[in-house]
Amino acid sequence: MAAKRADPTTHLAVDTAILTYLLHSSTLTLLRAPPPLGPAPTRNHELPLQMVDSFLTLFHTAHPSAAHPPPLHLRLLILRFTALFTLRHSPCTSTPSPNALAALRRTHAARAAAFLAAQDPAAGCDLRAYACPALASASERPPPQLSLLDTLPLFVDLAARAAVLHGEPIAHRGRALVGRYMAAATVEAYLVCGAEGPGALREAFAWGAEGEGGMWGEGWEAERGEGVRMLIPPEGLGLGEWLGEVEGSRGVRGVEEDVRAFLGGLVSAEEVPVLVSEERGELGEEGWGDDGDVGG
């Protein structure tokens, strides 16, 4: 007697529900866990990522032609960024290898160079006008495995996609936080990572109102220019001393805490996964629809 096989639509719906649940719970676990204190993350940090990686392999094997709908794609992006951001001081499952990280940095630098080459000096903030002399010394703090500058493009993409999917007020919060993230990434690059010359500042702010991260719209140039000028020292004050003052400001110091809050807000804005509702005893008969839309 031939074994019965699950209906493909039902199979995809169930697997999507499981994946949505894993993405949701894994993101919350990472956001709620305290940052790793040592050079390696704990099992509480690694296990959620391993579970998602394992199930994604099964999912893509079982459904090779299935496209992720925008809400599910956003959940994947939220978890990816959350893992890189919260564990950036410790190597983990999601940390790029040294070769991959070097290639990633070359890609980011090339993107910034292309943006600057096409920038109109008369429009808004001309980043090519700014020069940053080498600092006498960087901070004694060890540099992170991944810098804020490394994760900035992913955060821009995440904030832009969230803005498209959810609109206001998430779009406004994301736009304002991206500007602060750029400033914080620049400060960290010079004070902690030992960057020299204007490259880090230019790369951090080389994002326009169109194209990748095109959620910015009217007013972005002025907002970006204000962020850049905040990092330029007053006449007579050294760059290192000035960036030290900027680092202590609320706008830069609180970025990491505010990014965590923003990520938590994105998770809350998503539809509660069906399996989470079932765990809570809140799932009615309508929870499993016939159209494969099973939460997220």
Q: Residue 27's pLDDT is what?
A: 92
pLDDT of 194 strictly over 90: no
1-30 burial by CB neighbour count: b if 16+ within 10 A, else e? eeeeeeeeeeebbbbbbbbbbbbbbbbbbb
Pick the more confident residue, 271 or 37: 271
Give the phi and the psi of residue 158 in degrees, each rounded to 5: -60, -50
Pick the more confident residue, 96 or 277: 96
Q: Which of 58, 61, 51, 62 is nearest to 21 (CA)?
A: 51
Q: Which of 262, 260, 164, 178 is nearest to 220 (CA)?
A: 178
Q: DSSP of 122-166, one letter per residue?
A: TSS--GGG---PPPS---SSPPPSS-HHHHHHHHHHHHHHHHHHH
Averaged pLDDT for residues 107-126: 73
Pick the more confident residue, 36 or 198: 198
Which segment of 37-41, 77-81, 218-222 scores lowest on mean pLDDT? 37-41
Alpha helices in 33-147 (DSSP H): 43-62, 70-86, 98-117
**134 Cβ neighbours under 8 A, 6+ residues apart:** 196, 197
pLDDT category, 136, cuts 50, 70, 90? very low
pLDDT of 242 strictly over 60: yes
Of the chain, the percentage scoring pLDDT greater than 90 comes to 17
Q: Residue 196's pLDDT is what?
A: 79
Tell me, what amino acid is at 294? Answer: V
Which segment of 32-46, 134-148, 185-199, 265-279 scores lowest on mean pLDDT? 32-46
pLDDT of 267 strictly over 60: yes
Nearest-angstrom CA–CA distance, 173 and 167:
10
Which segment of 62-71, 134-143, 179-188 scores lowest on mean pLDDT? 134-143
Contact 119, 128 (CB under 8 A): yes
Q: Residue 213's pLDDT is what?
A: 45
Highest mean pLDDT among 97-111, 156-170, 191-205, 240-254: 97-111
Q: Residue 296's pLDDT is what?
A: 38
Pick the more confident residue, 77 or 281: 77
Pick the more confident residue, 178 or 130: 178
Q: Which of 215, 225, 214, 130 is nearest to 179 (CA)?
A: 225
Q: Residue 283's pLDDT is what?
A: 58
The tens digit of pLDDT for each residue in 11-39 reads 888 888 889 989 999 999 889 877 655 55
pLDDT of 201 strictly over 50: yes
**256 Cβ neighbours under 8 A, 6+ residues apart:** 85, 184
pLDDT of 287 strictly over 70: no
* Residue count of the chain: 296
CA 183 to chain centre: 15
Say which DSSP state 69 is in.
P
CA 98 to chain centre: 20
pLDDT category, 278, cuts 50, 70, 90? low
pLDDT of 41 strictly over 60: no
Supply 52's token pair. Answer: 């998602």
Supply 173's token pair. Answer: 């919060």
Averaged pLDDT for residues 211-227: 60
DSSP 3-state assignment of 167? coil
Q: Residue 294's pLDDT is what?
A: 43
pLDDT of 42 strictly over 60: no
